[in-house]
Amino acid sequence: MSRYDRQLRIDGWNQEKLRDATVLVAGVGALGSFIATNLTLSGVGKLILVDMDTVEVSNLNRQFLFRKRDVRKYKAEVAARKLRQMNNEIEIVSMPTKLENIKRSVYEECDIITAGLDSFDARRWLNSLCVDLNKPLITGGMYGFMGHVQRIIPYETPCFECQPLVPQEKLSQACSPIGEKRKHLPKKPEAPLPAVATLSMIIGGIISQECLKHLMELGTPLDNYLFYDGMTNTTTVIKLERKYNCPVCGEFYSLKEATITVEDGEKISDLSTRIAYAFGLAEPRIMLRGVILDKELIINKKNLKEGSKIFIMDDRLAKPLKLIIKREKK
Ligand SMILES: [Zn+2]
């Protein structure tokens, strides 16, 4: 009898599709442990586990693939070893490194990407890469007993960036829904976030379930943002809308070109700040003819002419943004 016998009894279940699928699991922490376990047990053909972190004692209350003896070992490697014991009929690859260090071809090989990342910047980076590669992304986050799941199908559903941007000082609260509850959260962004096993299991379960449904084209996909509050057992599904001028997936951005007006006497650092606000970027670097412009450089008619093309690079962009210079008409 097949190890998959019980799931094969589900109407529409397609084990061959799962066997032929490759899924990248970004982050093998609390959510990632449960995501990777579910995908392993279900028989997804190839899993790529990415996490740069090592196991810490404080992970052990919820990251159930790890034991005390695993402390200081790479999460991706320990997880891969444990998962192979659960199912040796699938291929599991571990990559104990940053998402940014992985070759694009690895992402291109995947049918879908799941993410349980604790850093807001990493989520934004992965989102823009997935949009760029046109790869589906199921992502989620947690804060204590609250969690969310978002299903991103590039150019079809809103991407992570279509939502209102969260100010820097609220990064640690990025997992919480918009509204009242944020006020009760701690003010210090550097404090570790509260996290429990039960919520990790529920949110990780929903992420992996959406992933399996996507691979087998089973059921109704999450459309497109789910918020869960474990304290009240409330599940809310919100249909976020795409933003036409989203810097990552909007039509405006898909042109990969926009104009920006400059004035003589403006510093490059000030232009950089304006660009950061306009496009929701972190610390844009401005490149002209292959050279990064010095922040202290003062703009004049010679160094930035009407029609000059500048390229903007930023940690939140998977590829540079092209801007055409317009001169202020006096
Ligand atoms: Zn978007």
CATH topology of domain 256-327: 3.10.290
Average pLDDT over residues 80-96: 98
Task: State the pLDDT confidence band at 118, using cuts at 50, 70 and 90.
Answer: confident
CA of 253 to the centre of ligand 1 (A): 9
Report how far ligand 1's centroid is from the alpha carbon of 164 (Å): 10
pLDDT of residue 171: 41
Q: What are the extents of the domains in the chain?
A: 5-238, 256-327
Binning pLDDT at 50, 70 and 90, where does residue 263 land? confident
The pLDDT assigned to 330 comes to: 59
Interval between CA 154 and ligand 1 midpoint (Å) = 8
Structure tokens at 154: 């590039």
Label residue 152 by pLDDT band (50, 70, 90).
Answer: very high
Ligand 1 centroid distance, CA of 241 (Å): 9
Query: The domain 5-238 belongs to what CATH superfamily?
Result: NAD(P)-binding Rossmann-like Domain (3.40.50.720)
State the complex-level ipTM: 0.99
Confidence of residue 8 (pLDDT cuts 50, 70, 90): very high
Per-residue pLDDT averaged across 163-186, rounded? 42
With vertex at residue 22, the alpha carbon angle to CA 17 and CA 23, rounded to the nearest 5 degrees, is 115
pLDDT of residue 165: 45
Q: What is the pLDDT at residue 105?
A: 95
Question: 290 CA distance to ligand 1 centroid (A)?
Answer: 28
Segment among 59-63, 103-107, 240-244, 276-280 with least mean pLDDT: 276-280
Query: Residues with beta carbon < 5 A to ion ligand 1?
Result: 159, 161-162, 246, 248-249
| Residue range 27-38: mean pLDDT, rounded | 97
When comparing pLDDT for 204 and 160, which is higher? 204
Query: Rounded CA gap, 97 and 99, in Å?
Result: 7
C-alpha 237 – ligand 1 centre gap (Å): 19
Catalytic residues: 175
- Which of 26-35, 102-111, 174-183 is predicted with the least confidence, judged by mean pLDDT? 174-183
122 confidence band (pLDDT: 50, 70, 90):
confident
Given a cut of 80, whether residue 173 has pLDDT beyond it is: no
Q: Residues 304, 325: contact at Cβ < 8 Å?
A: yes
Residue 327 is predicted with a pLDDT of 85
Banded model confidence at residue 182, pLDDT cuts 50, 70, 90: very low
Which residues on neighbouring strands pair with residue 48, listed in sequence order?
24, 93
The CA 156 to ligand 1 mean position distance, Å, reads 10
pLDDT attached to residue 254:
52
Residue 178 confidence (pLDDT): 36
293-326 pLDDT per residue, tens: 999 999 998 888 888 889 888 877 777 888 889 8
Estimate the crossing angle of helix 197-216 against helix 30-42, to 10 degrees: 40
Predicted confidence (pLDDT) at residue 166 exceeds the cutoff of 60: no
